[in-house]
Structure 1
Amino acid sequence: MARRIGSRYTANQVLGRGSAGTVWLGEGPQGPVAIKLLREDLAEDRELVDRFVQERSALLGLDHPRVVGVRDLVVDGNDLALVMELVRGTDLRTRLDHERRLTPEAAVAITADVADALAAAHAAGVVHRDVKPENVLLDSAAPTGPGGAPPALLTDFGIAKLIDAPSRAPQPTPGGVRIPSQRRVIGTPDYLAPELVEGLPPRAAVDIYALATVLYELLAGFTPFGGGHPGAVLRRHVTESVAPLPGIPDELWQLMLQCLAKAPASRLRAAELAAALREVLPDLRGMPRLDVDEPHEPEAPAALPEQRYEPRPGARGSGGRPPRGAVPLVPLAHGSAPDSNRDTHTSMRVPTPEALAGGALGTARVPRVPGRPRPGSARHRTAARSRRMRLGAAVGVVALTAALLGWLATDSDAHSGPGGPYPRSSPAAPPAPASR
């Protein structure tokens, strides 16, 4: 059913529902648009609305071919809406769901487009903070590029900051001292940079880390640190090294490794990354998809101390997702369980230093060559346990054999006389007669 959004727009059809609200196919003075109607609890927070309106000029100023532009911001009663360009196509998550992984050439071409979008945003002082496949649109109406990849556009600028910006005023104590609220991690666990997990403010480098994680996922079919409880995922970002992907050129791997560095200053800038990726594109022409196994899900450990996992309201897992439209939002269904690997806008308490120093919980998603168990996986642990049992059995047999041989040798010596040994079954020699 159509509804009016302000005085200039009409929302006609729901395209998708996400953590921030509902996306509609709409109509405006200049033709079709996508209208993102934000959640009521966000629209009712006047301080948040004021801050978001202040961001209006920055959002409207992001004019780049690889950015889904924001055309207008509507504040009308309880309605808070972003009016955006309508992209005819699908999102990168949907393509991954269908193809599992992309060819290296297509993956790098898409990543380079997104890096161009981030370069424009960072130059304007805007940090995206939630780069992931759901927020990358593939324009099916435009000619395809290297590897048959359609042009990629980045969307949902400002949404992560909006979710993180509700008024959380410091709470006064009975003595009148105002204690600031505890910092939380806002974002999608699989793509969060280590400095965000440690409670540092988001800078442009967090988008580079997230984009390198997306590239890893496009190539491998899974993220480098995903799997299991979100607390374990956050810890891996801080404590574990990324496992190499077999079969990709070393130059490309070194780029990914640099952008996945734990130290933000070690990562490339967005423009540098885009240029470097396009330099390696010719070497990837005709290269097939990587042959790596899908990782096993690790056993879910207990939550980290002093943490509380707060998924978006009514999130649903990756199974049973309804079809999505051009705007990439993870659909919602009230009362369903969250998908811990690809949850959107997760809010978690920042892990304590003691929790982060304890090492990773669960098993990181380590790629392996097919036919060989992945280090740390359940099959690897089973194979190692089997080897230990076989080795223990062999050692036991050797020890038993040695003990038996030793016993036989001792028994043989005990039954030996001056004339040599005689069988134990032989009758004893008669006693010598006593001499007078």
Structure 2
Amino acid sequence: MARKIGSRYTANQILGRGSAGTVWLGEGPEGPVAIKLLREDLASDQELVGRFVQERTALLGLEHPNVVSVRDLVVDGNDLALVMDLVRGTDLRTRLDRERRLAPEAAVAIAADVAEGLAAAHAAGVVHRDVKPENVLLDMQGPLGPGGSHRALLTDFGIAKLIDSPRRTRATKIIGTPDYLAPEIVEGLPPRAAVDIYALATVLYELLAGFTPFGGGHPGAVLRRHVTETVVPLPGIPEELWQLLVQCLAKAPASRLRASELASRLREQLPALRGMPPLDVDEPDAEPEEPSQTPPAGPPETPVRVRRGAVPLVPGAKPDSNRDTHTSMRVPAPDELAGGARGTARAPRAAGAPRPGSARHRATTRRRRLILAVAAVAVAAAAGTGAWLATSDEAASPQDTKNTAPASP
């Protein structure tokens, strides 16, 4: 059912829902638009409405081919809405759900587009703070780019900042999606432009591998890995591209590239990636870190696969259909972060390798144990026989033993 948004816009059809609000296909004075209508509880927060109005100038002034432009901000009664350009296409999460991973050339081209959009935003003093596949739209009506990629546009600028008010989150809360949060956010530091670079590098890793480098399991464990673990190499990609990823996933914000530098370096990689197929790696196994993730009882031959990625931050809740998780959670204390295993994150398995905990893995483990046990018995038996023969010889010919040299070690 159509509804009026302010005096100039009409929302006609729901395009999608997220935890921050609902996106509608709408109509305005200049034609079709996308209208993001924020939740009613957000619209009733006077402090947030004030911040919304304050951000108006910065958001309306952000124009770039790789950014979904905000045309208007509407505050009308219980309605709090962003009116944005309508992109005819889909989001990057939908494509990932369909294809699992992309060919490296297409993945890098998409990441370069997003980096260029971030460069324009950072130059205008705007930090996105929630870069993730759900917030990257693919323009299906424009020309194809390298690797058959569609032009990528970054959307939802300002949403995380608007919701992250001091009263709403206090000093012990963070906002964002756990898989893409930079270590400094986890440690409670203010978000700067470098957090977007870290998140984009995480997205690129996911486009290449089919999973995020530190995701899987309970949100607290994911946050801890961002701070305490280092990323493992992805087999099959050029070393120069891997070094770019490593630099942008550095724990220290100052070590990461600026968005403009990252975009340029990614473009330089494209010729070497032409024609390269998607990587053939398998996802690391999610660790059962809470009772709800314990594999259910079932036939022993049925391996259980736990999907990595975004998880609900409230126990018992289901993630939004588009994984739009603008939800606050507690910042882990220093001792909790220090309690994580320092070192390298769990490595991806080679394709075809048995998954730990699967029936095949258990059978392989049993065979190895049986072989070791048989070998141990054989060694013990041989040692016992040798000792018995030596004792028999000594008893029969004691005079010969004094001329026998000790065996060589």
**Aligned twin of 1:232:** 221
Match of residue 313, structure 2, among 289, 311, 315 = 311
2:109 alignment partner in structure 1: 109
Asked if 1:367 is matched to 2:341, the reply is no
Matched, 1:250 2:239: yes
Please state whether the residue corresponding to 2:24 is helix, strand or coil. Answer: strand
Q: 1:219 to 1:310 in 2, by over 3 A?
A: closer
Q: For the residues of structure 1 that align with 2:45 and 2:398, how far apart are their CA atoms?
A: 107
Instruction: Tell me the distance in 1 between the aligned counterparts of 2:252 and 2:340.
Output: 18
Give 3-state SS (helix, strand or coil) of 1:57's partner.
Answer: helix
Distance (Å, rounded) in 1 between the aligned partners of 2:5 and 2:324 = 29
Aligned partner of 2:188 among 194, 199, 220: 199
Q: Which amino acid aligns with 1:11?
A: A
Q: 1:343 to 1:138 in 2, by over 3 A?
A: closer
Distance 2:267 2:276 in 1: 15
- Contact 1:62/1:121 (<8 A) preserved: yes
Separation in 2 of the partners of 1:275 and 1:87?
25
Q: Secondary structure at the match of 1:167?
A: helix
The alpha-carbon deviation at position 166 of structure 1 amounts to 6.2
Query: Of residues 283, 291, 299 in structure 1, which corresponds to 2:280?
Result: 291
Deviation sequence 1:197-225 (CA, Å, 0-9, x none): 11111000000000001001111111111
Secondary structure of the equivalent of 1:36? strand
- 1:150 maps to what in 2? 150
How far did 1:138 drift?
Answer: 0.3
SS of alignment partner, residue 24 of structure 1: strand
Retained in 2: the 8 A contact 1:45–1:166? no
Task: Measure how far apart 1:310 and its partner are.
Answer: 6.9
Q: How far apart are the structure 1 equivalents of 2:326 and 2:345?
A: 22
Q: Of 386, 391, 402, which aligns to 1:405?
A: 386
Question: Equivalents in 2 of 1:367, 1:315: separation in Å?
Answer: 29
The 5 Å alignment of 1:373-388 reads 378=357, 387=368
TM-aligned CA deviation for residue 350 of structure 1: 1.1
Give the direction of change, closer, same or farther, for the CA distance of 1:92–1:315 in structure 2 (3 Å limit).
farther
In the alignment of these two chains, the number of paired residues is 380
**Residue 182 of structure 1: CA displacement?**
4.2
Q: Trace 1:2-401 onto structure 2 (pairs within 5 A).
A: 2-165=2-165, 167-168=167-168, 181-301=170-290, 311=313, 316-317=318-319, 330-331=320-321, 344-360=325-341, 364-372=345-353, 378=357, 387=368, 390-401=371-382
Q: Render the CA deviation track for 1:264-311: whole Å, top value 9, x for unaligned.
A: 0000000000001111111111111111123322222479xxxxx973
How far 1:395 moved relative to its partner?
Answer: 2.7
**Match for 1:207: what amino acid?**
D
Within 1, Cα distance between the matches of 2:367 and 2:217?
25
The Cα shift of 1:408 comes to: 5.1
| Structure 1 residue 353 displacement after superposition | 1.3
RMSD: 2.9
**CA shift digits 1:94-142 (9 cap, x unpaired):** 0111111111110011000000100011011111011010000000110
Task: Name the one with the larger helix percent.
Answer: 2
SS in 1 for 2:250: coil
Tell me which structure has the larger Cα radius of gyration. 1
Quick one: which amino acid aligns to residue 265 of structure 2?
A
Aligned residues of 2:18 and 2:324 also touching (Cα < 8 A): no
> The residue matched to 1:395 in structure 2 has which SS?
helix
Aligned equivalents of 2:225, 2:317: Cα separation in 1:
23
Say if 1:343 and 1:234 are closer, same or farther in 2 by CA, change over 3 A.
farther
Deviations 1:308-341 (A, max 9, x none): x973799635xxxxxxxxxxxx538xxxxxxxxx
Q: TM-score scaled by structure 2?
A: 0.85
- Between the aligned partners of 1:96 and 1:371, the Cα distance in structure 2 is 21
| Distance of 1:195 and 1:207 partners within structure 2 | 12
Deviates more, 1:137-146 or 1:387-396: 387-396
CA contact (8 A) 2:20 2:324 kept: no
Query: Residues 134 and 324 of structure 2 are in contact (CA less than 8 Å); yes or no, is this contact kept in structure 1?
Result: no
Report the Cα offset of residue 366 of structure 1: 2.2
Q: 1:79 to 1:113 in 2, by over 3 A?
A: same
Cα distance, 1:133–1:82 mapped onto 2, change above 3 Å? same
Q: Distance in 2 between matches of 1:315 and 1:14?
A: 23
Spell out, residue by residue over 1:356-413, the C-alpha distance to the aligned partner (whole angstroms, 9 max, x if none).
111249x945223324468xx5579856786466435523431243134324543665
Shift of residue 351, structure 1, vs aligned partner:
1.2
Is the CA contact (8 Å cut-off) linking 2:219 and 2:313 kept in structure 1?
A: no
- In 2, distance between residues paired with 1:82 and 1:315? 27
Alpha-carbon offset, residue 161 of structure 1: 1.3
Identity %: 74
Question: Is the contact between residue 72 and residue 82 of structure 2 (CA under 8 Å) also seen in structure 1?
Answer: yes
C-alpha offsets along residues 136-186 of structure 1, whole Å, 9 cap, x if unaligned?
0000110111111010000000111122126349xxxxxxxxxxx442121
